[in-house]
Structure 1
Amino acid sequence: MAVLQMQKISIYALKKDRKKLLEFLQRRGVVEINNLLPEDAVFKRNDVSEAMQNIEKNISLAKDAIDILDSYVPDKKPSLIALKGKKVVTEEGYASFREKYKPTVNEVKRVISLHKEIAESKAEILKHQTQIDILKPWVTFDIPLNFDGTKQTKCFIGSLPNEWNLEALYKCLAEGTPVEIDIVSSSKEQTCIFALCPIENADKVYDILREMNFSYPSISMDTAPSEQLNRINSQLSELEQTISDAEKEIKSYADHLDDFLFLQDYDTMRAEKYNVICQLLQSEHAFILTGYIPERDVKRLETDISARFDVCVETTEVSEEDDAPVLLQNNGFASPMEGVVASFSPPGKGEVDPTMVMAVFYYVLFGLMLSDAGYGFLMVAVCGFGLIKYRKTIEEGMKKTLRMYLFCGLSTAFWGIMFGSYFGDIVDVVSSKFFGTKLSIPPVWFVPVNEPMRMLTFSMLLGIIHLFAGLGMKAYQLYKQKDYKGIIFDVFFWYALLTSLVILLLSMEMVTGILGISLTIPAVVLRIAKYLALLSAAGIILTSGRESRNPFKRVLKGVYALYGVSGYLGDVLSYSRLLALGLATGVICTVINQMASMVNSVIIFTVVVIIGHLLNFGINALGAYVHACRLQYVEFFGKFYEGGGRLFHPFNENTKYYNIKEKM
């Protein structure tokens, strides 16, 4: 477990080499650029906001075009990138793409334009279909719907709600008023009518129609409905042909998908490069680049960069005032836990890397909370397959994730064997139901469901070990900081107090009775424990506030610190979740198996077992992950670790689909 030593780096180079130098640094990915130097009369920062906007626009266009192609040719887009890895592109391939950058951008825009054309055509089709629905009741009507009458007559063309007949219409409209009525179509929902009357009676007729909830057609046209329907159907055919042609043209770009993917990655790299350019101090002919680099990479980078460019590279040690980033380095067993540490906070200044010690306890606690050999072997099989099958291509982040769950699976399988749980009691159920004989695999240790207090005792013991390991990490951290007094005052006294209190508690029949254990502690040990508890408590009271010069405040701070012993009790009790989650997994497994055994069909039995155990595995694996993190963050880290560091974010290729292979 180690926090890599950082150095400050300054690169002074000619402006003509800026583009190639930045691309070189981006491919190496070992320098975090952080230009904090102030501007002066010669060196100033450039405004590249306009270029950034254009690049970000092209990235957005490329993403949209890729999604459009994926919707029309779904099997063309690469899948499982994290497992299969990114495609490797040589420097020659990279240069070749740059030559066709503009044509590719135009192709992307064309795909988006075609997709927009399809969307507009579909919207127009919906509009025409609505018009068709409106015109269908008028298909036999040979007069334009906007016809208003003649000089001597007034015409009313429209619809009435519900179904009407001529007799009812004339009864309402023709009383003392000359009017000619024709029913164009009729249904339960509406009746379409044509009414004609002398122009001098128009107002009276309209008033009657309005009382009958008369409404004009929602569309107005100067041709007969049948002619308009023919025109709309012709337009629909044209629109459908437009959509078909556009879809064919979009599909024809399927062979250009690799260019679209590379365009997205290429402009993503350009955006990051321009983000760096806006930080650089530049004169007319030169520029200055500053940042941080891991000490292990300094010599190689300096050698390679000097061989390629006319530059001056300067490195210096990081001072206490510098906000240096943090980069962790661990072996294959602990490195998967670096992400868990980073999720809390990277180590702050003067803190040690807790990853290795945390990894041991994390794997143990995760397995103890899931504790089923079947689930453990399933995790090992899936993660092992992924690591072996895609070992040459898998992305580093996914590799660490699979490795983490591989170790968690091994721990789960171990505790499952210790407790005799193999998908619960599936062996018993299958053997008794289908083979008429009861077989079982006995536990190597004990069955937690049958002996919950024993499991609780073990959980609390493991919790005490975990907490003591946290105190041990604090001692190691104080040793690295050369605070030797702190090791005695802040660690040794607490070790002595907690150990003596545990011995005194175990001497009480009430405690041993609750825990279900029988223990006899010699009187001399109890006497030593009492004196040790008193002495260590006094030591905590007298030294915890040692930074204060006021004796009264010092004692008060010491008393308050001693009160923290109650926090240790709460921390130990917190490990009872190991019992709760372990029992939950086993009990639910048993319930699923019993439910499956109630059916006589082998197929249904298998389906119930598979679905039930998959759900149980998913829920309890998530619970084990969350609670294992919680025990690290709150109980373990609470004893020595504060974090507050800043992760190392090098200037590199944050691409999604391609990696550029550099000639070495």
Structure 2
Amino acid sequence: MFRPAKMQKIRVIGMRRDEPALISSLHTLGLLEIRKVEGEEAGRENPLHVYQIVSEQLTRIRGIKNLLEKQPGEKENHKSEMPLEQAIAECGKIKIDARLRELEAERERIEERIDSLAEKKEKLAKLAGLDVDFGKLEAETIECHAGIVKRKKYEILKGALAKTKNTCMMKGRGQTAADFACVVCAPKKENVKGTLEAHGFEFVQAGKIAGTPLENIAIAEEEIHKQKKRLAEIGKEYEVISKEYYGKIIEIDKVLKIWEARCTAVSDFRATEETFILHGWLLEKNYWKLHEELKRRFGGRIFVSRIKGKDEPPTLLANPKPFSPFEFLVEFFSLPRAREIDPSMILALTFPILYGMMVGDVGYGIISLLLAGMIIAKTKPGMLRGFAVLWAIASIPSMIFGILFDEWFGFTFKTLMEEMGVHVGGSFLVVVFGSAFHLSRLHDIGTLLLITILVGVLHLSLGLFLGFVNEWGHSKTHAMAKLGWIGILASGLLLVPHLMFSASLLALPIDEVLAGGIIFAVSLLLVVRADGIMGVFEIPGIAGNALSYARIAAVGIAGVVVAEAIINKLLFEGVALPNRANPFVFFLVCAVVLLLHIANTFLAMFESLVQGARLNLVEFYGKFFHGGGKKFSPFSMEEK
């Protein structure tokens, strides 16, 4: 339960003539992760003999599939029962490649032509106000420039061109009231282009045209209509071909994809002329299931045996379903190795507590639960949804700590009830349970800091104990060093308050300084024995780890300040309440207050997630977790 699922490495030996049938059986069963066979004298196996034709046809079929239109109701991840021989035969019957390529090439040409015509039409539209036949302006010694000039600059430009011999300028209405469309003709030797540029003339390069701009726009529109009509005809032909072939294509694609995986999987085998060897990992509980199934299918021709794996086993997290959301958090950071402790169930306890201490408001817990529920309902499985599930779970301890801190949307329970016209005698704990417990994050900051640091010491001690369990099977010296660090943390709780503040944190009925000194000395010996003198220099580091838990208080206090001092006192009490007689102002300000509380909740959710994850995945993980595990990936027909 606290470790990944136990794995077993196996060896399978058989006759090469059974290789295709065996690899098909393993693929169907989906129990074994095949690993490369290392250190054997036999040579490396080649892909199955059908690999070349499978690869060629798969490339061809996928090319066709990419050109066809996806059909409704056709599922690409369905399981196909079509035999390989039939799939290859069906490939031979499909002869639409050339026609599809022709249609695709024609479609690309038409789309390019339409884009070109649309661009030309857009340019001609700028000159539509010119009633000029451009075809009659062509001459070897004359150059013409069409474009736009601002009305306020037209007379200035006209005067400048008048200084040039044999120059003619014609104008028409522009696209806007501030412009003229113009065409300027002049002898080439005069080079009027510089004059035009100097006066802000916007050149329009519409290409070689005959007739007026309006006539050419009409021609372009007619050509675009003609090309779009042909495009629609191509689309209909695609639709007819797709309806006939798409279902068959995806079925063949599935079969060929399966066999491509099977053909290449044997490359990890070792083989002689007559036999083959394969290695792989599977769940220990599935060993006999695989053993008996292969025995039933192949009799005595296949030999399966357990072997000791020298390589790192794959990792499969196998926690009860209620803890699966925290597997997401573990995998997000790094998978544990197969022989490590799986921290999923521990994070299910520690993460919500740390998160809840930071949010610590009943109202914010309710809002975070609602926001998380909306995200879960609106998103598909993935990272955002995974975090939303964590938010939803952690909202419950947020409400519990909100009751302990007596925070309800930044109000105390008593204040909130009285604002609603209900008189109560005190906090929720007083009213419901008769408890006088009270801890205000805004007024009892010193107590809150001590509690968060104590929580940090306990959290780190748990991590160190898990490190002790992890190391015990590898190095008892290093395992005992983990206990030594727990002792150093415990001695700090006893010594630091006395030596720095002349006070007792735990108020134990013993000499805390003497007890702390003894624990520190013994613990330091355990650490130095494992890590040498460098262990001494790590003491400030672990002290810093414990102090970093003060961020729990810091994040919480920041949220309270925003909720209570800014939103409630400044807006609700300062603006809304004095305007109760004005319903419009009152309800408007109340709506703004609610929106600000929702925004503050979102900030608290994000900040608490980040800081809670940091405390768990950096400070806590660092005491026992190595990570770097590889996820168990069995050779299977199931879509991953």
Q: Same fold (TM over 0.5)?
A: yes
Distance between the aligned counterparts of 1:385 and 1:180, measured in 2?
71
Q: Does 1:130 align with 2:130?
A: no
Matched, 1:230 2:221: no
- Specify the SS of the correspondent of 1:163: helix
Name the CA distance, whole Å, in 1 between partners of 2:523 and 2:100: 73
Residues 1:141 and 2:132 aligned together: yes
Deviation at 1:143, TM superposition (A): 5.6
SS of corresponding position for 2:280: strand
Q: Which residue of 1 aligns with 2:314?
A: 325
Given the alignment of the two structures, is residue 501 of structure 1 paired with residue 492 of structure 2, yes or no?
yes
Deviation at 1:578, TM superposition (A): 0.9
Between the aligned partners of 2:284 and 2:515, the Cα distance in structure 1 is 51
After superposition, the C-alpha distances for 1:582-607 in whole angstroms (9 at most, x for unaligned) are 22333333344557634554764565
Aligned counterpart for 2:289 among listed residues 290, 300, 309: 300
Seen in structure 2, the aligned counterparts of structure 1 residues 421 and 227 have a Cα distance that, compared at 3 Å, is same
Query: What does residue 352 of structure 1 align with?
Result: 341
Hey, what does 2:434 align to over in structure 1?
none
1:634 to 618, 621, 636: 618
Residue 629 of structure 2 corresponds to which residue in structure 1? 645
**Residues 127-526 of structure 1: pairs in structure 2 closer than 5 A:** 127-133=119-125, 136-138=128-130, 140-142=131-133, 144=135, 147-148=138-139, 155-159=142-146, 163=154, 171-173=162-164, 183=170, 185=172, 189=179, 192-193=182-183, 206-207=190-191, 218-222=206-210, 227-242=215-230, 272-273=261-262, 275-281=264-270, 288-308=277-297, 312-319=302-309, 321-348=310-337, 351-378=340-367, 404-425=390-411, 442=428, 445-481=438-474, 484=476, 487=479, 489-508=480-499, 510=501, 512=503, 520=507, 522=509, 524-526=511-513
Q: Which residue number in structure 2 is paired with residue 576 of structure 1?
A: 550
Q: 1:550: which partner in 2?
A: none
Structure 1 stretch displaced more, 259-268 or 236-245: 259-268
Give 1:616's match in structure 2, choosing from 600, 603, 619: 600
TM-superposed CA distance for 1:642, in Å, is 2.5
Contact 1:65–1:112 (Cα < 8 Å) also in 2: no
For residues 103 and 30 of structure 2, the distance between their equivalents in structure 1, rounded to whole angstroms, comes to 34
Distance 1:159 1:135, change over 3 A: closer
Contact 1:376 1:412 in 2 (8 A): yes
Offset, 1:571:
1.2
- Aligned residue for 1:608, secondary structure, equals helix
Q: CA deviation at 1:382?
A: 7.1
Q: Pick closer, same or farther for the CA change 1:518–1:15 going to 2, 3 Å.
A: closer
Q: Which residue of 2 aligns with 1:662?
A: none
Ranges in structure 2 where 5+ consecutive residues have no aligned partner:
430-436, 577-582
In structure 2, how many angstroms separate the alpha carbons of the residues matched to 1:267 and 1:595? 68
Cα contact 1:383–1:405 (8 A) shared by 2? yes
CA RMSD, Structure 1 to Structure 2 (Å):
5.1
Task: Give the secondary-structure state (helix, strand or coil) at the position aligned to 2:439.
Answer: coil
Contact 1:182 1:195 in 2 (8 A): yes
Q: Which amino acid aligns with 2:296?
A: A
Structure 1 gaps, min length 5: 79-85, 197-201, 546-556, 657-664
Q: Post-superposition shift, 1:466?
A: 1.0
**Distance in 1 between residues matched to 2:505 and 2:283, nearest whole Å:** 55
TM-fit CA distance, 1:329: 2.4
What is the CA–CA distance in structure 2 between the aligned matches of 1:567 and 1:93, rounded to whole Å? Answer: 63
1:36 aligned onto 2:37: yes
| Residues 146 and 222, structure 1, Cα contact 8 Å, conserved in 2 | no
Between the aligned partners of 1:137 and 1:384, the Cα distance in structure 2 is: 60
Please report how far the alpha carbon of residue 470 of structure 1 lies from its aligned counterpart in structure 2 after TM superposition: 1.9
Measured in 1, the distance between the counterparts of 2:338 and 2:158 equals: 97
* TM-score between both structures, scaled by the size of structure 1: 0.72
Give CA deviations for 1:128-176 in whole Å, capped at 9, x if unaligned.
32353265244x3346156317xxxx555444755369995995355xx
Distance, in Å, in 1 between the alignment partners of 2:535 and 2:157 is 98
> Structure 1 CA distance, aligned partners of 2:603 and 2:305?
51
1:560 pairs with 2:553? no
TM-score in terms of structure 2 length: 0.74
CA distance in 1, matches of 2:226, 2:22: 55
Q: Which has the higher contact order (CA 8 A, sep 6+)?
A: 1
Contact map agreement 1:281 1:288 (CA 8 A) in 2: yes
1:46 paired residue number = 47
